[in-house]
C-alpha cells in the first residue's frame, strides 16, 4: 500500500510542477539543483555565437570562459550562474548581455539511504533526482519507520563531500538537517519532494512505540503517532473486548528511570514507551 501511495505521489508531483522564475520547469521551487564538478553546462549568449557553447565544470568547480578565464560555478544553481556571467560580461565586455544556462550532462552523485527503509544502501544517481525517487529505489519504508524523514547535508556544501562517507545524525561535518514527513510525500507536496545533492544522507529513524495490554482484541506493541490519545491507542489495538472496560485504565510510564502507574482517561496523550493496561469490566 505504501509503495502504491509513493508511486501515486510521484505522478502527482510531476503533473503539478510548473515552470517558475526561481526554478527550472518541472523542478520543485524549494531547492534547485546545484552544479558541481563534471557537470556540463550549455551556455548561450544572445547574438554571440563565439561564446555560445558547452562548458565542462572542472574538478576545481570552475569553467574556462572566453574573456573571463576561470568562472566559479560549483555550488550554484543555473539561475545564479546566469547572474554571475551577466555581471562579469557587462563589466567592459558586452553591452547588456542576455545569457541562458542549462545543464546538458549531469555528473554521477552518491546518495546514502539509512534507517527504516527496506534496502538501506549507497545509491549512485544522475540528473535531478528527488527524495521520493530515491526512497522508491530503496524499497520504501518499513513498518517501523517514523513519520519524519531527515535529510542531512555537509556544512561546506559540495566542496565538503568526501567519497564513501555518509553524514549521520550528530556528525560534526553535517550542519543542515531538512525534515520531511511521510504525509507530505503521500500528499504530493512539492516543497517536501526535495532535489537531492551529492553526499546527501536520507535517514529514516525508527518510530517510537507504545504497548497495550489487558482486555483488548489485539494486545501488543504499536507505532506511536504524533498526538495519539489513549482512545486512539486502544483503537489501534483492535478496541475493547466484550469483557474490557474503558474505566480504571492505567498507564505505566517511565519517570526518572522508574516505572510509575498513572490513572488514565481516554483523552490523555500517549508518550513514547507507555504501557496502557486495560482492565476487566466489573460485573
Superfamily of domain 40-105: wza like domain (3.30.1950.10)
Nearest to 1 by CA among 104, 102, 143: 143
Nearest to 191 by CA among 36, 74, 2, 20: 20
Going residue by residue through the chain, which has 283 residues, state the pLDDT in tens, using 9 for 90 and above: 434 334 433 333 333 333 333 333 333 334 578 898 889 999 999 999 999 999 999 989 999 999 999 999 998 999 999 999 999 999 989 999 999 999 999 888 889 999 999 999 999 888 889 999 999 999 999 999 999 999 988 766 555 555 556 766 666 665 578 899 998 888 888 777 888 888 889 999 999 999 999 999 999 999 998 899 999 999 999 999 999 999 999 999 999 999 999 999 999 999 999 999 999 998 7
Domains of the chain, residue spans: 40-105, 107-204, 209-278
| CATH pick for 209-278 out of 3.10.560.10, 3.50.50.60, 3.40.50.1370, 3.40.640.10 | 3.10.560.10
Q: Does residue 54 sit in helix, strand or coil?
A: strand
C-alpha–C-alpha distance, residues 118 and 121, integer Å: 10
Identical fold, 107-204 and 209-278: yes
Residue range 95-112, pLDDT digits in tens: 999 999 999 998 888 899
**Distance between first and last Cα of the chain:** 42
Q: Does residue 251 sit in helix, strand or coil?
A: strand
Q: Which helix (H) or strand (E) holds 8?
A: helix 2-16
Class of domain 107-204: alpha beta
Amino acid at each position: 500500500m505504501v509503495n502504491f501511495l509513493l508511486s501515486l505521489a510521484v505522478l502527482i508531483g510531476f503533473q503539478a510542477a510548473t515552470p517558475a522564475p526561481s526554478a527550472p520547469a518541472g523542478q520543485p521551487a524549494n531547492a534547485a539543483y546545484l552544479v558541481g564538478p563534471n557537470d556540463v553546462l550549455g551556455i548561450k549568449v544572445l547574438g554571440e555565437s563565439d561564446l555560445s557553447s558547452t562548458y565542462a565544470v572542472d574538478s576545481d568547480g570552475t569553467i574556462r570562459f572566453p574573456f573571463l578565464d576561470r568562472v566559479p560555478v560549483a555550488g550554484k544553481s543555473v539561475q545564479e550562474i546566469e547572474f554571475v556571467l551577466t555581471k562579469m560580461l557587462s563589466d567592459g565586455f558586452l553591452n547588456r548581455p542576455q545569457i541562458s544556462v542549462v545543464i546538458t550532462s549531469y555528473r554521477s552523485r552518491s546518495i546514502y539511504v539509512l534507517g527504516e527503509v527496506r534496502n538501506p544502501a549507497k545509491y549512485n544517481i544522475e540528473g535531478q533526482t528527488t527524495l521520493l525517487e530515491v526512497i522508491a529505489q530503496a524499497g520504501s519504508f518499513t513498518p517501523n519507520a517514523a513519520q519524519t524523514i531527515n535529510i542531512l547535508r555537509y556544512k561546506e556544501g559540495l566542496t565538503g563531500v568526501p567519497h564513501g562517507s555518509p553524514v549521520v545524525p550528530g556528525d560534526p561535518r553535517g550542519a543542515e538537517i531538512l525534515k520531511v514527513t511521510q504525509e507530505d510525500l503521500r500528499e504530493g507536496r512539492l516543497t517536501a519532494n526535495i532535489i537531492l545533492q551529492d553526499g546527501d544522507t536520507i535517514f529514516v529513524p525508527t518510530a517510537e512505540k507504545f504497548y497495550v495490554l489487558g482486555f483488548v482484541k489485539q494486545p501488543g506493541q504499536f507505532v506511536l503517532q504524533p498526538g495519539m490519545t489513549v482512545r486512539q491507542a486502544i483503537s489501534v489495538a483492535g478496541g475493547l473486548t466484550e469483557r474490557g472496560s474503558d474505566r480504571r485504565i492505567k498507564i505505566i510510564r517511565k519517570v526518572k528511570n522508574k516505572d510509575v502507574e498513572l490513572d488514565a482517561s481516554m483523552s490523555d496523550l500517549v508518550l513514547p514507551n507507555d504501557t496502557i493496561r486495560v482492565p476487566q469490566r466489573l460485573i
